[in-house]
Amino acid sequence: MISTSVFAEEKLTIEKQLVGIVGAISGTVKTETRELKAGDKIYLNETIVAGAGSGTQILLLDQSTFTIGEDSEVVMDTFIFDPATNDGKIVASVKQGSLKVISGLISKKNPDSLTVEVPEGTLGSRGTEFQTIVSKGKTDTLLIGPGKNNTLGMRPGAVLVGNNLGSTLLDNPYSMASMTKGKAPGQAKKITKNQLKKFNKKMKALRVAKLSPEEKKGKRKEMKKQLRKELKSMGFEKEEIKSIIRENIQKDKEKKVAIKKERAEKKKAKKKKAKAEKKKNKKKKAKKADKKKGKKKKATKKGSKKKKVTKKKETKKKATKKKATKKKAVKKKPAKKKKVVKKKAVKKKKVVKKKKKVAKKRKIVKKKRAQKKKRAKKKRRKKK
């Protein structure tokens, strides 16, 4: 009994605090109690869950637009709006998936009055269009626009990505920042093509829904009627309602034109930069080629000079070598002669020694013969 009564009270309070209307839908999008269809009312604190390949666009009472992508879970925590003064406050939380925000009258009056809470921190919108993707332990936030020098003279958009550890301001269109648990937000960086594809992929289902032929004009008329009813209930008159709708249509058209112009200007600027860079590269290449040619010429001149010097040195070396060989030859010849003379002298000495020995032997023989003769004479004399 207590639980049912509490649930009934919660339902009544939700119904009292109307937030907006479902503008477009694709696939299966649900809340805790019902499945949503185009034209359904959205109440405060309702959890909107979009399944795989699904998405929805919610038109808030202050003309803000919340586009919820596939595999997403979004809750409208706070919505306060005074249509007489356009004062108010919007707080939404994204538990998972993707949310694209186009700010309305509340942000126009006070740019800091729209915030989106994510698991890693908060996103403070300052009158702009941005998209966030919440994944496991990480949140990526992309600022879409408008830029500082937009053609419509609109206030430049910005998103403050922050948590307890720090903050990063995105103030340049198509710049992004990432947040992870337990860390300060990363620096603002220009989005790459692959990252932009990732952001667009989350909203792909809803684009298909908008372009599909199944959505008839009758449904759109019904949506407009419901919006008119809600605006009447907020205290607007018929003329004011028509002017608001016309202003919204004009703003959308102007935004599209501005985005196209900005993209065209960016493309032109990129082309100019590319051409200037090509010219610079060509000039640099030409200068490098000239320098190389000059270096080659200098090298050839130096080489020729070096060759001449080397040739001279080689000729000198050859001449010195020849002289040295001649000197060696001159030195070698007397040495040979000296050796021959020495050999002859040695031979002569040997011959002289032999002759002396022979002469000594002859003398000794002669002496012996003389002694024998003397002895023989003595013997003869004795015999006589």
Split at pLDDT 50, 70, 90, the class of 239 is: low
User: Taking 60 as the threshold, does the pLDDT of residue 16 lie above it?
Assistant: no
**pLDDT average, residue stretch 254-274:** 79
User: Mean pLDDT lowest for which of 149-158, 309-318, 329-338?
Assistant: 329-338
User: Mean pLDDT lowest for which of 209-213, 276-280, 357-361?
Assistant: 209-213
Report the pLDDT value the prediction gives residue 137, as an integer from 0 to 100.
87
User: Taking 60 as the threshold, does the pLDDT of residue 270 lie above it?
Assistant: yes
Indicate the fold that domain 2-236 takes in CATH.
Answer: Jelly Rolls (2.60.120)
Q: Give the number of other Cβ atoms within 10 Å of residue 186's Cβ.
A: 15
Phi, psi of 30 (to 5 degrees): -130, 165
Q: What rounded mean pLDDT belongs to the chain?
A: 79
pTM tops 0.75 = no
Q: Check if the beta carbon of residue 159 is closer than 8 Å to that of residue 141.
A: yes
Note the pLDDT tens digit of each residue in 328-379.
Answer: 655 555 555 666 777 778 878 888 888 888 888 888 888 888 888 888 888 8
**pLDDT average, residue stretch 20-35:** 92
List the domain boundaries for the chain: 2-236
Split at pLDDT 50, 70, 90, the class of 288 is: confident
| Cis status, amide bond into 111, omega within 30 of 0 | no
Q: Which 3-state string (H, E, C) describes the chain?
A: CHHHHHHHHHHHHHHHCEEEEEEEEECCEECCCCECCCCCEEECCCEEEECCCCEEEEEECCCCEEEECCCEEEEEEEEEEECCCCEEEEEEEEEEEEEEEECCHHHHHCHHHEEEEECCEEEEECCCEEEEEEECCEEEEEEEECCCCCCCCCCCCCEEEEECCEEEEECCCCEEEEEECCCCCCCCEECCHHHHHHHHHHCHHHHHHHHCCCCCHHHHHHHHHHHHHHHHHCCCCHHHHHHHHHHHHHHHHHHHHHHHHHHHHHHHHHHHHHHHHHHHHHHHHHHHHHHHHHHHHHHHHHHHHHHHHHHHHHHHHHHHHHHHHHHHHHHHHHHHHHHHHHHHHHHHHHHHHHHHHHHHHHHHHHHHHHHHHHHHHHHHHHHC
Q: How far apart are CA 375 and CA 379, in angstroms?
A: 6
Note the pLDDT tens digit of each residue in 77-103.
Answer: 999 988 888 899 999 999 999 999 998
**pLDDT average, residue stretch 150-167:** 78
User: Taking 60 as the threshold, does the pLDDT of residue 62 lie above it?
Assistant: yes
Q: 42: which strand partners? A: 20
Tokens representing 77?
């925590």
